[in-house]
Amino acid sequence: MTLACRFDAEFIAMADLVGDHARAAPHHVAVVDGERQLNYRDLDAIMDRVAAALVGHGVGPRDTVAICAAASLEYVAVFLGALRIGVAVAPLMPSATPQSLAAMAVDCGAKLLFVDATTRDAVAAVAVPRVALDGAPDDGAPGDGVPGDGVPGEVPFAAWLAPAGTRPAPVAVGPDFIFNIIYSSGTTGTPKGIAQPHMMRWQHIKRLGRDAFGPGSRTLVSTPLYSNTTLVCLFPTLASGGTVILMRKFDARGFLVLAEKHRATHAMLVPVQYRRIMALEDFDAFDLTSFVLKLCTSAPFPAALKRDVLARWPGSLVEYYGLTEGGGTCILHAHKFPDKLDTVGRPAEGSDVRLIDERGVEITTPGAAGEIVGRSTAMMTGYHNQPGKTREAEWFDAEGRRYMRTGDIGRFDADGFLTLLDRRKDLVISGGFNVYPSDLEAVLAAHEAVLEAAVVGVPSPAWGETPVGFVALRDGAAASPDTVREWANVRLGRTQRLSAVHIVDALPRSAIGKVLKRELRDRLIDPEIRRRYDSQGEQTGPSAPEG
């Protein structure tokens, strides 16, 4: 069986695929990190050393280790080395609070925690043995020196690794083994551990490894390695024998410099990254003709931005809509359907995507809106240690088949393309009318002074809830909150009108670009701001006179 044909197999463990490439193309570059790189032979060897070191420290199949660090060769090697012996990996977000990091480490049952200089202080309260990914192995494989030496409670990577040439005893990693536990971003409260089995990750690998990536792929990775957004393109690249180019910290111009230098062919970016890149005055000066495919997911992708990317950035553009929890996936091949850029595409092959109402009853009326639910062969095992939360995330059809609830509201058009309306929790019910914040945000964003906008619902004595806008202005632009609100309300329906607009320097976002609307709502707890929109609500609610 050729390596390409292996993607037709029922299941292959990720680490085995790296081993295959190490034998078939040992000198092909697998991972690039600044001026350092690993070919497949050396990556496979250091994976063995990681796996053997884990065994030596009492970590075995179905145990868990955690990583809280910046992207690096070491990060990738530890992740893959753990997978080789059936150990699950919990990649933790460094931006979480020390209390949250400690709670996540306990929740996942991490036997070891891998850190580096960027996260050492944040994880100080985590009561788990630590390994510093700063140290270099003695054979000159990955490493930046040994700044981790001498830190109490920490073993430097160089000292921790098993000796060169060490191999662990083989482990038959099954499709039901947990591949990774990814913690939610916390945009809706305390992070939940999403347990993804090897079979779920294999389905991602099969889809992209077979259709989108290959040995010639050079994927520029600029989102954090703890994010599923990143992993759904990182692992298919390596599984198909391609090259991953790591960007430790994203900046728009730096991304283009790296893309041009390495002749990048693939990238997974979130919408805010696309916006910042396309806004560069010298964007067109960079040679991006090597690009074959650009991917996007994780947050709403404005149609106007898609058009700009299609017009000025070579290569195909594909948007994915789905959950880290898995379930149904929708795909928009934007370059093939330029008239559907306001949608997230149609359900992918093997995905069953449906709509349900507030009672959990399936909606079959054409064009009607409802909560999106989906099922496929790529679904999480459940939320780690939270069976109650797992049940809340599930919906079962009349035949008892399991679907994942997205919490998003959408509708299908006549051609089967799905349009997202809003998060169910963000829906504003004002005076008995459903108000979709995305509709209001689109109007606000059309103002010449507005760079980006977000709308949240807040309590109102008169209407139950009322919409409030937050906008960030373009560089050099000037506008008052009242001017923007009045301009928008003239263009909105009577039931949609904004009761207030607040101008902010920037919208708060997670590391992968999601607007943190919970933070915006929290800002409105301030009593003076609260009084302001309460007093305006009588004049701008659903029953206010037109004009």
pLDDT digits (tens, 9 = 90+) for 404-451: 999 999 999 999 999 998 888 888 888 777 788 988 999 999 999 999
- Residue with structure tokens 């069953």? 352
Strand (E) or helix (H) holding 295: strand 293-296
In angstroms, the CA 54 to CA 82 distance is 7
Task: Give residue 89's Cα distance to chain centre.
Answer: 17
Quick one: tokens of 518?
């919970």
Backbone angles phi, psi at 235, to 5 degrees: -70, -40
Confidence of residue 152 (pLDDT cuts 50, 70, 90): low
Quick one: tokens of 109?
């049952």
Examine the pLDDT at 516 and tell me if it is beyond 60: yes
DSSP reduced 3-state for 14:
helix
Give Rg (Cα) of the chain. 24
Examine the pLDDT at 389 and tell me if it is beyond 60: yes
Predicted pLDDT at 136? 45
424 DSSP assignment = G
Q: Residue 117 burial by CB count (10 A; 0-12/13-18/19+): exposed, middle or buried? A: middle
Examine the pLDDT at 119 and tell me if it is beyond 80: yes
Q: How far is CA 22 from CA 19, 51, 239, 369, in A?
A: 5, 16, 11, 50
Examine the pLDDT at 368 and tell me if it is beyond 90: yes
Residues near 375 by Cβ (< 8 Å), separated by ≥ 6? 327, 328, 351, 352, 401, 402, 403, 404
Examine the pLDDT at 537 and tell me if it is beyond 60: no
Predicted pLDDT at 491? 94
Q: Are 33 and 73 in contact (CB under 8 A)?
A: yes
Share of the chain above pLDDT 90, in %: 76
Q: Are 132 and 148 in contact (CB under 8 A)?
A: yes
Section 287-314 average pLDDT:
95
Examine the pLDDT at 538 and tell me if it is beyond 60: no
Examine the pLDDT at 185 and tell me if it is beyond 70: no
Predicted pLDDT at 532? 52
In angstroms, the CA 439 to CA 443 distance is 7
Strand (E) or helix (H) holding 504: none
Predicted pLDDT at 3? 64
487 DSSP assignment = H
pTM: 0.84
Quick one: tokens of 493?
């329906």
Confidence of residue 323 (pLDDT cuts 50, 70, 90): very high
Predicted pLDDT at 502? 95
Task: Give residue 113's Cα distance to chain centre.
Answer: 22
Examine the pLDDT at 153 and tell me if it is beyond 70: yes
Share of the chain above pLDDT 70, in %: 90
Other C-beta atoms closer than 10 Å to the C-beta of 28 total 16
Examine the pLDDT at 132 and tell me if it is beyond 90: yes
Q: How far is CA 399 from CA 374, 395, 402, 403, 463, in A?
A: 14, 11, 9, 11, 41
Q: Are 223 and 272 in contact (CB under 8 A)?
A: no
In angstroms, the CA 190 to CA 205 distance is 29
Predicted pLDDT at 541? 31
Cα angle: 353, vertex 422, 512; to 5 degrees: 90
Examine the pLDDT at 452 and tell me if it is beyond 70: yes
pLDDT digits (tens, 9 = 90+) for 192-212: 999 999 999 999 999 898 889
Please state which of the ranges 149-163, 304-318, 415-429 shows the lowest mean pLDDT.
149-163
The rounded mean pLDDT for the chain is 90
Beta strand segments in 52-149, E: 64-68, 88-91, 110-115, 130-132
pLDDT digits (tens, 9 = 90+) for 326-347: 999 999 999 999 999 999 999 9
Predicted pLDDT at 378? 95
With the C-alpha atoms ordered 318, 322, 326, 331, is the resulting torsion angle positive or negative? negative
Q: Are 67 and 89 in contact (CB under 8 A)?
A: yes
pLDDT digits (tens, 9 = 90+) for 26-67: 999 999 999 999 999 999 999 999 999 999 999 999 999 999
Predicted pLDDT at 151? 61
Q: How far is CA 235 from CA 9, 216, 243, 469, in A?
A: 17, 15, 10, 39
Domains of the chain with bracketed CATH: 9-23+35-166+174-200 (3.40.50.980), 322-423 (2.30.38.10), 427-540 (3.30.300.30)
By DSSP bridging, strand 266-269 and strand 293-296 are parallel
In angstroms, the CA 459 to CA 477 distance is 31
Predicted pLDDT at 547? 24
Other C-beta atoms closer than 10 Å to the C-beta of 544 total 18
Residue type, 462: A
In angstroms, the CA 457 to CA 465 distance is 6
Predicted pLDDT at 494? 84
Examine the pLDDT at 546 and tell me if it is beyond 60: no
Section 295-320 average pLDDT:
95
In angstroms, the CA 226 to CA 511 distance is 10
Task: Give residue 335's Cα distance to chain centre.
Answer: 22
